[in-house]
Amino acid sequence: MLFTSLEFLLFLPLALVVFALLPVGWRWVWLLLASYIFYGAWQPFNLVYLGAVTLVIVSCGRGLDRATNQRRRTALLTIGLLAVLGSLVAFKFYDFLAGELERWSAQLLASEPALALPRLGITTPVGYSFYAFAAAAYLVDLYAGRLAAKQDAGRTALYVAYFPKIFAGPIERATTFLPQIQAGLRANPVLFVLGLQLIGWGLFKKVVIADNLAPLVDRNFAIAAYAAPMELLISIYFFAFQIYCDFSGYTDIAIGVSLLFGIQLMENFRRPYLARSAAEFWAERWHISLARWFRDYLYIPLGGSRVGPLRRYANIMIVFVISGLWHAGLGYGVGWTFLVWGALNGAYLWISLATRPIWRSLGELLPRLSGSLPLLVLRVLLTFHLILIAWVFFRAKSVSDALLILQKIGARLSELPSLLAQYPFTAEHFFGFGLIGFLVVVEIFDERRSIFQRLAAAPVAARWVVYYLAIFSLLILGRWQGREFIYMQF
């Protein structure tokens, strides 16, 4: 059941009506049942995986509550994390690595595969990466005392299964989610209106922007060896905005739907392509819930920034390589491209940290220059294009395809002005550029003051003009063919 499907359009009002009719104390029970219906509608057997993860963390959580010595607590935490995260690793990578080992052994021995390894034949259940990480965070927070002991099993099950976030996040923390459930769920009129606005904006980003950019991107990345350099260059730009609008569109809808039930989920995107550095992009603007998960549950336990420079840089690279591997999934396959993508972004962070003193010194020497608009624009464009290069590895079918794409574009980069003048742009191209331009303008205005705050302050007539224009654009320009959200597959 996709957010963009007719089934969801029927499911959500029904869920809201039942929610409103129930006593406050029973509303969380209905949300749990609705979440299982929502997730089971995609593939009923996936409920087995969801139930198993829930059972593991509830059992380990109760064991942690009863354990009287530290060794037993540590053992329970380890068992729980191995079960949840170990299964994630096995589902994602075992069959791929088994195939790679067979191929390498055949190359070394110059013969047919010397190894014949068994296969699991299990596809990672949709959304598993997201609720597995949420479950792991629950156990760690319980172990560390950040979460109160004796958590209710039913509410914990709702935390794992909550339907707005189960497919693609945000990766909410139990420390912020469970207190809202325990306090009693009541709809808030102000949050309800904001929720509807977020749902509309998220749908626009998904079905109007992302899904209209997707066909050209898919077409050219599928024939990277034969596509013209200009087509590949346009496809890279289109993909950067496709994946952003697809993923942030899902998040906007998820947060908006959750607000309708009076539950606030964390912000996951903050105008990422306006970042001035790779560090700002990853730490403060892109997939914020995942970045904070890695910061709190991997980077800091590794020593974080409290260690020496070399160890700190190693910790950063470990986090980004693992983050790259986490992104491997059904959408663009499981391959080495994601490891390269993660390592490349880790290298960007190295450069960002290494040059931070230079920017600080420049600001002290030339305060007017450091705060000037031209320098800000230059830094934003430089950061965006560094991220753009990394996206090539994320989207390409293989590392060799990614390198070929970059090589073909790089070889003709000096001819770009003449190529642009001669290129036979189509209506598809101009429509895509127009959508991107519209999004960039909205994000620039949103950077200074939220578009929803601006909308709230506008006259009633102006607000309804915007609402009607949004509805018409969704109906006329949107692609409603049920195309999956990209990050559901990771």
Reply yes or no on whether 385 is catalytic.
no
Which member of 287, 327, 385, 429 is catalytic?
327
Cβ contact 272:281 at 8 Å: yes
3-state SS of the chain is CCCCCHHHHHHHHHHHHHHHHCCHHHHHHHHHHHHHHHHHHHCCCHHHHHHHHHHHHHHHHHHHHHCCCHHHHHHHHHHHHHHHHHHHHHHHHHHHHHHHHHHHHHHHHCCCCCCCCCCCCCCCCCCHHHHHHHHHHHHHHHHHCCCCCCCCHHHHHHHHHCCCCCCCCCCCCHHHHHHHHHCCCCCCHHHHHHHHHHHHHHHHHHHHHHHHHHHHHHHHHHCCCCCCHHHHHHHHHHHHHHHHHHHHHHHHHHHHHHHHCCCCCCCCCCCHHHCCCHHHHHHHHCCHHHHHHHHHHHHCCCCCCCCCHHHHHHHHHHHHHHHHHHCCCCCCCCCHHHHHHHHHHHHHHHHHHHHHHHHHHHHHHCHHHHCCHHHHHHHHHHHHHHHHHHHHHHHCCCHHHHHHHHHHHHHCHHHHHHHHHHCCCCHHHHHHHHHHHHHHHHHHHHHHCCHHHHHHHCCHHHHHHHHHHHHHHHHHHCCCCCCCCHHHHC
Phi and psi torsions of 405, nearest 5°: -60, -50
210 token code pair: 């992302």
What CA–CA distances, in Å, run from 332 to 285, 286, 338, 394? 23, 20, 9, 8
Q: What is the largest CA-CA distance in the chain?
A: 75
Q: Quote the CA–CA distance of 375 and 378 in Å, as a whole number.
A: 5
237 token code pair: 């730009």
240 token code pair: 């950067």
Catalytic residue set = 327
